[in-house]
Amino acid sequence: MHYFWVPFLPMFGILVPLLTNKLNRSACTLATALLPALALCLIFLDLPAVFAGESFSKSVEWIPQLGLSLSFRLDGLAALFSILILGIGLLVILYARYYLSEKDNMGRFYSYLIMFMTAMLGIVMSNNMLQLWFFWELTSISSFLLIGFWSHNSDARKGARMALTITGAGGLALLAGIILLGQVVGSYELDVVLNSAELVKQSPYYIAILSLFLIGAFTKSAQFPFHFWLPHAMSAPTPVSAYLHSATMVKAGIFLLARFYPVLAGTETWFVVVSLTGLFTLLLGAYTALFKHDLKGLLAYSTISHLGLIVLLLGLNTELAAIAAIFHIMNHAVFKASLFMAAGIIDHESGSRDMRKINGLWKYMPITATLAMVASASMAGVPLLNGFLSKEMFFAETLEQSILGAMSWLIPVLATIAGAFSVAYSLRFIHDVFFNGEPKGLTKTPHEPPRYMRVPVEILVAICLLVGIFPNYTIGPLLQSTSLVVLNHPLPEYSLSIWHGFNLPLLMSALAIIGGVAIYLNRKHLFKFAGMFPDVDAKLVFEDCIQACVKWSQKITTKMETGSLQRYAFCLCFFALLLIAPPLFDLETTKGSLAGTPINGAVIVAAILIVAGSLATIIWSHYRLIALLMLSLVGLVVSITFAYFSAPDLALTQLSVEIVTVILLLLALYFFPQQTPTSKSRPSHFVRDLAVASFIGCIIGAICFALMTHPLDSISAYFLENAKIGGGGTNVVNVILVDFRGFDTFGEITVLGIAALGIHKLIARMRLSMRTKDYAGRLWAKEKYPVLLSVVSQSLLPLFLLISAYIFMRGHNLPGGGFIAGLITSIALIQQYLAHGVDWMAKRVSVSYHYMIAIGLTIAGLTGLGSWAFGRPFLTSWFEYVSLPWIGKFELASALVFDIGVYFTVIGATLLILASLGKLTTTERLTVGER
Amino acid sequence: MELVYAICVGFMSACGIFLMLRGHTFTLVIGLTLLSYAVNLFLFASGGLTIGAPAVLNSSENYADPLPQALVLTAIVIGFAMTAFAVILAMRGRADLGSDHVDGIEPFDPLAEEKS
């Protein structure tokens, strides 16, 4: 179908004005109008099918993983709005060509305008709710750009910001509503959602969904109490006002109500909330409009009032009311766009919009005056014009409802009063501007606008007349197909004719017109009355609110973000506690069904050592050396624990890591104060930290106990069964490391290498003072490298290397392997550093540890890649038993080569860390520092 | 035995976290190390406690769970890298900021004020 391209054409069109900006103005205008015009043609091509009551939808996958698709639909409602958006959009483009001055950047203006057009088309044609929301927010952003187009003007900036804040906040509420609705229905596609009315209305979330949708719609459509942004948006260039406040922006909220009418409407809540909001907005807008001296201000409040009327109609619980609402959407768009344009012409050609200055313009611009008068007559609801028809339907429907029970008669009365005010302000627009004496204090003499600036107004006014006189021929089919979509079931009988006989609605119309004239004639008294009330500037109130919000959030921020990492660490632990504790309450007992292992003396001793060691670490934490020694005690017992509970590999690893860690921390301690300054922390912090730490400890202990005593369904049986057959080794832990989970290990040695390189970089530019004395004021020992230590460690070196080779070789079948062998070699080398110093070692060991890490990682990586040569996945292992004379039968495995990689990386990383740190204490340090 | 083991793990974690919440970097690193011991023991225990049955085939009747062991083995090595990184970072912090307090400066001490 053609319609799928409709939103895309203007989307490409955003670039057109920017590219053609350099050409003359008319060429730029024509080029800009081309793509929207094409889109309008596409809509017209599909229109016959739409009139036949069909609705199409088509979707293309966009991000299928997230369930997002690019999905558009065309039905009566979408077609109606698309025609309004594109049609009035084209007229606005033509109008703006003459409205904008030479100083304005026309390309930028058109670009924003087309972007806005795209966003609106996206809203009305979206078949996916999330996509609809995306375009909804796009209208907020592009309207911000349009309203603030004259960014040198402070009012424009403030108005734009206010519009963005209000409609943007409403948009967020709408998003929440859409997500809720999507969750309830189980789909975000409108096809599905629109046919799930029962499901939604019975859902417990219905009220929440409805409220969120209404907030979205009411903010966008400027309903009370969110109406105040609209008058301030009038600081936009008039073409923008004509577009945003007639056919598009403010109608987006109405569209939303109409689109989701089948799903959300039909309940008591809907009727009461929607109709009363609409009614109040209708009255408030109509009343306020009369007192506005600014031409556009009057129109702005009249727009608010008419939007209220449409919302009220959507809220009345009759089907005909919904039809009347749709009818009024079209009519209002047409006459209001023409009125804004007329106001723009008056402003443009007379230099003022103040109705106290511009009087008697009839003499200067008779054609424009005629057009404006017809349009405002339509706004007032004078017979033979389109506004009259929908107003008649509106009056008829107010009589048919029963929302307020016995007080329901109030609604037609209030509607008539609002109608009277509407007549009064329309009258003021006509009489004050075109008659009522002579213009006062104008800077230029008013005159007729350029020929083509008036064309859009002429077209719109012609439509007003045509629809008003021949409603059935002009608007009938479109109205019918739209109503079909909104109501989602066969339509009731309704009549579009001008004359329905002498009936109550006609009487109400007559009363409204007479009342309106009466109000206008007595306007002096009314103005005096209105003048008694203080003039509340919504902008100031709004700014105050924003300032208060900023102040409030700043207060919170400064309270929360003190910049103290110590405090953050506490908060982290505290919230971790809050999150992990609740699930534990679901576990009925800590102790599971597994039988425990009997306790024995060795375990008790170990436990006492661990507890005492940990406690001592805390108690002497101010004496850092002692704390470190206590810590190493705990580490030692941990490695014994591993050995005791059948984990020899772990015991060996823990033991060697323990040695390396303690050496590292001792070296580091050389550069730190030897003692922590005592009791700097407040007692309350001490208690607080102790409480949190204890709670977390209790929870960890409880989980640990529960884990050990509850039966566990482990995947380990697989590894035990396949270690020998698949991996060719009997030490299952090592086979897991180098074979089954080799890829993990590869990742881990990479991390190790990166950490080592990071440390090397951190050390490279470090400047720390070296101490000459310890904390008690004692000098260091004079003998830097004790002879005994050097001799012993040097003679032990070959033995160390032999052991590490042995541990490495047997690793596949017995406890050992690359990690442990690497650590043992590292310890042997570190011992040489300790015994002989960095300088001595630097002369003898010419290997760069950076390269060693690289070589290790390369070996491990190439082993993995090697399996590709045989058409296997990365890191598939291979092994074979080989017999050689003298040596006997032994195993050759690719995993062994991988383990060599691990071995080298571990040595490289460990020594890079320790040797870099060690260098800080020597003459090597300077060269490192200056590098 | 499980109970004793769990108490030890819990106690070590508590001590580790308490030390990590102190204000000076070296104490923090010691706490971190203590906590990583506890975490390793915790992970190790998820396979249950088995005595005298290492996961080496043909060495005994039933085997200890090899999977947590393999995980913990790499965890120990990575834990070392992390401790090393933390302590060097602390040294760098002291070199650049002139203080070994985690916040970069010694906190305001009301008691010291009173004394002087």
- Tens digits of residue pLDDT in A116-125: 999 999 999 9
Binary contact (A607, B8; C-beta < 8 A)? yes
Name the percent of chain B in helix, strand, coil, to the closest 5: 65, 5, 30
Binary contact (A707, B53; C-beta < 8 A)? no
Q: Are A295 and A466 in contact (CB under 8 A)?
A: no
Q: Name which of A919, A896, A745 is nearest A849 in CA terms.
A: A919
Q: Where is average pLDDT lowest: A289-303, A869-883, B15-29?
A: A869-883
Binary contact (B41, A755; C-beta < 8 A)? no
Work out the mean pLDDT of chain A and round it to a whole number.
Answer: 87
pLDDT tens digits, one per residue of A235-277: 889 999 999 888 788 899 999 999 999 899 888 889 889 999 9
Give the up-direction half-sphere exposure of residue A288: CA atoms within 13 A in the CB hemisphere. 23
Q: How many residues does chain A have?
A: 931
Measured CA to CA, the distance from residue A389 to residue A498 in angstroms comes to 7
Tokens 């009087």: give the residue: A359
Binary contact (A745, B74; C-beta < 8 A)? yes
Residue A680 is predicted with a pLDDT of 58
Q: Where is average pLDDT lowest: A129-133, A580-584, A829-833?
A: A580-584
List, as ranges, residues 851-910 from A with C-beta within 8 Å of B.
Answer: 906, 909-910
Q: Is the pLDDT of residue B114 over 60?
A: no
Helical H segments across A588-682, by residue range: 601-619, 624-644, 648-669
In what helix (H) or strand (E) does residue A72 lie, and over which residues does it extend? Answer: strand A68-74
List, as ranges, residues 370-429 from A with C-beta within 8 Å of B.
Answer: none
Chain B contact set for A689 (CB, 8 A): 18, 21-22
Measured CA to CA, the distance from residue A523 to residue A356 in angstroms comes to 14
Residue B48 lies in a domain: yes
What interface predicted TM-score (ipTM) does this complex get? 0.93
Chain A contact set for B95 (CB, 8 A): 766-768
Q: Is some CB atom of chain B closer than 8 A to the CB atom of A737?
A: yes
Both tokens of A619, joined, read: 């108690």
* Count of the separate structural domains present in chain B: 1
What is the interface size between A and B, counted as CB pairs within 8 Å?
317
Q: Is the pLDDT of residue A681 over 80?
A: no
Measured CA to CA, the distance from residue A39 to residue A19 in angstroms comes to 20
Residue B115 lies in a domain: no
Residue A337 is predicted with a pLDDT of 92
Q: Are A97 and A25 in contact (CB under 8 A)?
A: yes
Q: Are A719 and A740 in contact (CB under 8 A)?
A: yes
| Whole-Å CA distances, A451 to A103, A238, A242 | 21, 18, 19
Residue A928 is predicted with a pLDDT of 39
The residue-averaged pLDDT of A797-822 equals 89
Which of A46-52's residues contact partners 24+ apart within 8 Å by CB, and which partners?
Answer: A46/A1, A46/A2, A46/A3, A46/A74, A46/A79, A47/A79, A50/A74, A50/A75, A50/A76, A50/A79, A50/A481, A51/A477, A51/A478, A51/A480, A51/A481, A52/A481
Q: What b/e string do you get for A126-158 counting C-beta neighbours within 10 Å, with b at 16 or more?
A: bbbbbbbbbbbbbbbbbbbbbbbbbeeeeebbb
Question: CA-based angle B114:B115:B116, to the nearest 5?
Answer: 95
Residue B56 is predicted with a pLDDT of 82
Binary contact (B21, A647; C-beta < 8 A)? no
Binary contact (A698, B37; C-beta < 8 A)? no
The residue-averaged pLDDT of A654-682 equals 83
One-character DSSP codes across A170-185: HHHHHHHHHHHHHHHH
Q: Is the pLDDT of residue B48 over 90?
A: no
pLDDT tens digits, one per residue of A472-504: 888 888 888 888 888 887 888 877 777 777 888
- Name the residue with higher pLDDT: A91 or A866: A91
Tokens 């109405």: give the residue: A254
Both tokens of A145, joined, read: 């750009």
The confidence band for B110, taking pLDDT boundaries of 50, 70 and 90, is: low
Q: Are A477 and A471 in contact (CB under 8 A)?
A: no
Residue A63 is predicted with a pLDDT of 79
The residue-averaged pLDDT of A295-318 equals 91
B112 Cβ contact list (under 8 Å, min separation 6): none
- Name the residue with higher pLDDT: A866 or A888: A866
A892 DSSP β-pair partners:
A880
Q: Are A421 and A290 in contact (CB under 8 A)?
A: yes
In what helix (H) or strand (E) does residue A883 lie, and over which residues does it extend? Answer: strand A879-884
**Which residue from A minimizes the CA distance to B15?**
A614
Q: Are A702 and A584 in contact (CB under 8 A)?
A: yes
Rg of the Cα trace of chain B? 20
Q: Is the pLDDT of residue A925 over 70?
A: no
**Which residue from B minimizes the CA distance to A745?**
B74
The residue-averaged pLDDT of A820-829 equals 92
Q: Are A117 and A9 in contact (CB under 8 A)?
A: no
Q: Which of A627, A644, A906 sits opposite B30 (nearest CB)?
A: A627
Both tokens of A820, joined, read: 């442990």
Specify the 3-state DSSP secondary structure of A711: coil
Residue A931 is predicted with a pLDDT of 35
Question: Counting beta carbons within 10 angstroms of the beta carbon of residue A480, is it exposed (0 to 12), middle (13 to 18) or buried (19 or more)?
Answer: middle
Chain A contact probe: residue of B3, B7, B9, B18 with most A CBs at under 10 A: B18
Both tokens of A767, joined, read: 């400047």
| Whole-Å CA distances, A70 to A60, A125, A417, A922 | 5, 11, 46, 66
Structural domain for B102, as ranges: 2-107
Q: Where is average pLDDT lowest: A60-69, A615-624, A700-709, B84-93?
A: A60-69
Q: CB neighbours (10 Å) of residue A34?
A: 14
Sign of the Cα torsion A297, A299, A302, A306 reads negative
pLDDT tens digits, one per residue of A135-179: 999 999 999 999 999 989 888 998 899 999 999 999 999 999 999
Which percentage of chain B shows pLDDT scores above 70? Answer: 92
Q: Is the pLDDT of residue B61 over 80?
A: no
**Which residue from A minimizes the CA distance to B113?**
A680
Q: Which of B21, B55, B91 sits opposite A573 (nearest CB)?
A: B21
Measured CA to CA, the distance from residue A230 to residue A235 in angstroms comes to 10
Q: Where is average pLDDT lowest: A346-355, A514-523, B56-65?
A: B56-65
Both tokens of A547, joined, read: 């300032």
The confidence band for A59, taking pLDDT boundaries of 50, 70 and 90, is: confident
Both tokens of B56, joined, read: 């080496």
Cα end-to-end distance, chain B, whole Å: 54
On the question of a cis peptide bond just before residue A683, with omega within 30 degrees of 0, the verdict is no
A473 Cβ contact list (under 8 Å, min separation 6): none
To 10 degrees, the CA torsion angle through A747, A752, A755, A756? -140
Which percentage of chain A shows pLDDT scores above 90? Answer: 39
Q: CB neighbours (10 Å) of residue A102?
A: 6
Q: Is the pLDDT of residue A1 over 70?
A: no
pTM over 0.90: no
Q: Name which of A392, A256, A383, A278 is nearest A324 in CA terms.
A: A392
Q: CB neighbours (10 Å) of residue A774?
A: 12
Both tokens of A363, joined, read: 């003499």
User: For residue B40, what is the domain's CATH number?
Assistant: 1.10.287
Q: Name which of A351, A343, A346, A344 is nearest A442 in CA terms.
A: A351
DSSP A354: B
Residue A94 is predicted with a pLDDT of 92
Binary contact (A733, B48; C-beta < 8 A)? no
Both tokens of A860, joined, read: 């491990």
Measured CA to CA, the distance from residue A30 to residue B95 in angstroms comes to 67
| Whole-Å CA distances, A313 to A85, A348, A394, A904 | 22, 36, 7, 79
Q: Are A257 and A210 in contact (CB under 8 A)?
A: no
The confidence band for A926, taking pLDDT boundaries of 50, 70 and 90, is: very low
List, as ranges, residues 758-777 from A with C-beta within 8 Å of B.
Answer: 758-759, 762-763, 766-768
The confidence band for B87, taking pLDDT boundaries of 50, 70 and 90, is: very high
Measured CA to CA, the distance from residue A824 to residue A816 in angstroms comes to 11
Measured CA to CA, the distance from residue A48 to residue A45 in angstroms comes to 7
In what helix (H) or strand (E) does residue A61 lie, and over which residues does it extend? Answer: strand A56-63
CA distance A637 to chain B (A): 10
Residue B71 lies in a domain: yes
Q: How many residues does chain B have?
A: 116
Both tokens of A602, joined, read: 């060795």
The residue-averaged pLDDT of A309-316 equals 91
- Name the residue with higher pLDDT: A112 or A718: A112
The confidence band for A859, taking pLDDT boundaries of 50, 70 and 90, is: very high
Q: Is the pLDDT of residue A439 over 80?
A: yes
The residue-averaged pLDDT of A824-836 equals 91
Q: CB neighbours (10 Å) of residue A269?
A: 15
In what helix (H) or strand (E) does residue A893 lie, and over which residues does it extend? Answer: strand A888-893
Specify the 3-state DSSP secondary structure of A929: helix
List, as ranges, residues 577-636 from A with C-beta within 8 Å of B.
Answer: 594, 596-600, 603-604, 607, 610-611, 614-615, 617-618, 621, 624, 627-628, 631, 634-635
